[in-house]
């Protein structure tokens, strides 16, 4: 009997916008991520990234004279070696998952999305986002990030415009990182059921104590943010 093809579930979102939390929660619900980081200096539960996926995305960006903090200015291109590497990774995920679901999380994937879009068979996408001031403040605090606040805001705009267009194209569910623990868990359970993951009721990965700053007041969010960036943020709020 032919084994049914596993379903790829890809987590999309800007850096410091809840992608690690979303990946960990979905992993808890039965999503196979392979060997991922479960602890580092900036994520006490780990960034849940697969090193080979991350390095492949970095390699594709470098091939386009860009990086995660300097997005490509022209349509993305890639080499046959990139394609071969990705196919091997995909095959490995499909072979090793025991739940019928596999996936990965890497914010760079928003920048390399055209590459993955050509390779994934019947993918499911899920996105997460965060208020621009909170996301960029978190990015700028990192010692390994060569960005000013204005540069980080511009980067937030680039990533989230891609997220919005992808959400429109694929009708993907979005979840804001600005949630209480209870609200976040309830939203995740609904999404897990929507994705037909095997154990959606056992999701308690979200930990408010690990979020440096949270913002739950919509009016305060609007007041403290420039109109342009808030309008983009509001577009994503409306897609929840």
Write out pLDDT tens, residues 188-233: 888 888 888 876 566 677 766 656 566 656 566 667 778 899 899 9
Burial 200-232 (b: 16+ CB within 10 A, else e): beebebbeeeebeeebeeeeebeeebeeebbeb
Task: Name the residue among 161, 130, 167 with its Cα closest to residue 232.
Answer: 161
| pLDDT given at position 129 | 95
| pLDDT given at position 183 | 83
| pLDDT given at position 1 | 39
Find out whether 233 and 221 touch, Cβ atoms under 8 Å. yes
| pLDDT given at position 4 | 76
And the tokens for 133?
């001031």
pLDDT in tens, 127-151: 999 999 889 988 988 777 778 888 9
d(CA 48, CA 40): 10
Task: Name the residue among 49, 68, 60, 155 with its Cα closest to residue 108.
Answer: 68
d(CA 226, CA 187): 28
Domains delineated in the chain: 7-237 (3.40.50.300)
Find out whether 235 and 164 touch, Cβ atoms under 8 Å. yes
Model pTM score: 0.89
Residue segments in the chain with a per-residue pLDDT below the cut of 50: 1-2
Task: Name the residue among 165, 159, 174 with its Cα closest to residue 111.
Answer: 159
């Amino acid at each position: 009997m032919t084994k049914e093809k596993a379903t790829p579930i890809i987590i999309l979102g800007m850096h410091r916008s809840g992608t690690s939390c979303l990946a960990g929660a979905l992993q808890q619900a039965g999503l196979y991520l392979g060997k991922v980081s479960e602890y580092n200096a900036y994520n006490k539960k780990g960034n849940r990234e697969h090193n080979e996926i991350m390095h492949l995305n970095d390699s594709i960006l470098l091939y386009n004279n860009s990086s995660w903090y300097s997005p490509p200015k022209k349509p993305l291109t890639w080499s046959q070696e990139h394609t071969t590497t990705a196919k091997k990774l995909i095959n490995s995920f499909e072979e090793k998952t025991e739940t019928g679901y596999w996936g990965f999380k890497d914010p760079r994937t928003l920048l390399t999305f055209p590459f993955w879009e050509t390779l994934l068979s019947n993918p499911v996408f899920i996105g997460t986002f965060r208020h621009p001031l909170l996301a960029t403040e978190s990015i700028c605090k990192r010692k390994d990030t060569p960005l000013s606040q204005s540069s980080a805001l511009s980067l937030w705009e680039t990533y989230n415009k891609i997220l919005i267009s992808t959400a429109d194209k694929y009708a993907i569910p979005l979840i804001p990182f600005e949630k209480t623990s209870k609200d976040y868990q309830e939203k995740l359970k609904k999404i897990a059921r929507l994705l037909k993951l095997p154990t959606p009721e056992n999701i308690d990965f979200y930990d408010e104590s690990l979020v440096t700053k949270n913002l739950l007041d919509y009016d305060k969010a609007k007041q403290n943010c420039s109109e342009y960036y808030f309008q983009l943020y509001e577009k994503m709020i409306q897609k929840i």
